[in-house]
Every structure is written in structure tokens, then in C-alpha cells.
Amino acid sequence: MRKRPLLALAAAVAAFTVAAAVPASADGGAVLTTGSAGGTAAAAGDTLTAPLATGTVATLYSSATGTSGVKCTSSQFTAKVTGNPAAPGTATESVTAHTFDPAGCTSNVTGVLGVTGITIDNLPYDATVASDGTLTVLPPAGSVIQATAKLRTLLGSVTCVYQAPSLTGHAGNADNSITFTNQQMTKSSGSSLCFANGFFTAKYAPVTDAGAPVFVN
């Protein structure tokens, strides 16, 4: 097995937040709508959720072009809408959870036997979603986005901690998705089995609000 810690969240976020992009948008409607583009405005306090897109995996690899690290087949984020102005504009959210099921996580890093846990720390995170689909995830003031991967190795348990000042993703209306691509996180602690950098990639879809798909306008 080689290496590639994992996150998430973080990304998730890893984890994260809302859906949409290829802006649909008409002046006067809200940035985030449910059911259809230009539909019912998502209300402040609404909870948005999304699993990994069907047939995809979340990965934390040692490089942007490599395939060594950790991958997971089950992950989900949860976010709460905190502001949803008229479009065009920028909606705000609070990312309250970003989880990975260790039963669906594996590693191909040499010396690693399995993944016992992956957590996204320092939640909640703040998130913004612009009408053009740009999604930005930021930690609370004075904190960092952080992912912790616990691995089983030939020498026992190893903990790898990765941090980033922010994460950037993209929301797409075609499939109500949020995509993070090669978001770089830097190792803050861990053994030599932990790569110096972890690159997080994941696609979450569909993003829903009480079961209804979420669109960005």
C-alpha cells in the first residue's frame, strides 16, 4: 500500500455545502432554490445534505496526478443555510458535518493494512456559494480546516493530520452536485507513512433540501 491520507473535508469537508452551478438564473429569484432552477427559495435554517455521487469515491492522494493514498466509497456532508439573497449573489452556509464510513475506506500505501477512521475536525465551517457555482469553505476565525486519518500499519496505529486554510469547489445544476478537485492539504503531524501533502477529490450528489434537489441561480 502506498500513501494518501484521506479526508475529507473536508471535504468535504470534504466534506460541504450546496449544490449547483451552470447558473440558471434570473434576477429576482434566490441564489439557492429547491425543486428547479428559479424555483422555491431555500430558507435560512434549512438543512442541505449530499452523499457521494453514485459510482464515485472520495480520495486523498499524495499528489495531484498520482493514485497513491486513501479512498472511500461512502461519505456525506450536512450544511445549514444561513443566508440566501436574491440572484445574482452569494448564499452562505454552515457546514455542520462531513463524514466518511471507515468500512468503505481503503489504502494502497506501502505498510498500511487498513483505515480505522477519518474525521473532519474544527467544525462547523463557513461556506459561500456564488451564482456562478463557486463554492468556498472556510474555518472559523483563528482555526483551520483539518482532516485526521487513522491507519492500521505493520507497526501499529498511525494518525495523519492534514490542514488547509480553505477549500474551493464547484456546484453544478446538471446533477445537483458539488465537486472538489485536488484540494491541497498539508501534513501538520504524523509518521513517515503520512505524505507531506494530501490532495482531496470528491463529488457529492445530489444535494437536497428535505428531499428536493437544490439549484444555484
Point out the residues of the chain with pLDDT beneath 50: 1-27
Question: What's the maximum distance between 2 C-alpha atoms anywhere in the chain?
Answer: 60
Report the C-alpha gap between 2 and 16 in whole angstroms. 27
Dihedral angle sign, alpha carbons of residues 119, 199, 134, 174: negative
H helix or E strand, kind and range, residue 168: strand 167-172
User: What is the total residue count of the chain?
Assistant: 217
Quote the Cα angle for 106-148-12, to 5°: 80
Predicted local confidence at residue 154, as pLDDT: 87
Cα-Cα-Cα-Cα dihedral of 58, 64, 68, 73, to 10°?
Answer: 10
Predicted local confidence at residue 28, as pLDDT: 53
Predicted local confidence at residue 155, as pLDDT: 85
SS3 string, 137-149, reads EECCCCCCEEEEE
Task: Look at strands 32-34 and 40-41 and give their pairing.
Answer: antiparallel
At 102 the three-state DSSP class reads helix
Strands (E), 12-54: 32-34, 40-41, 47-51
* C-alpha grid cell, residue 73: 466509497
At 103 the three-state DSSP class reads helix
Q: pTM, whole model, 2 decimals?
A: 0.87
At 104 the three-state DSSP class reads helix
Domain boundaries, the chain: 32-212
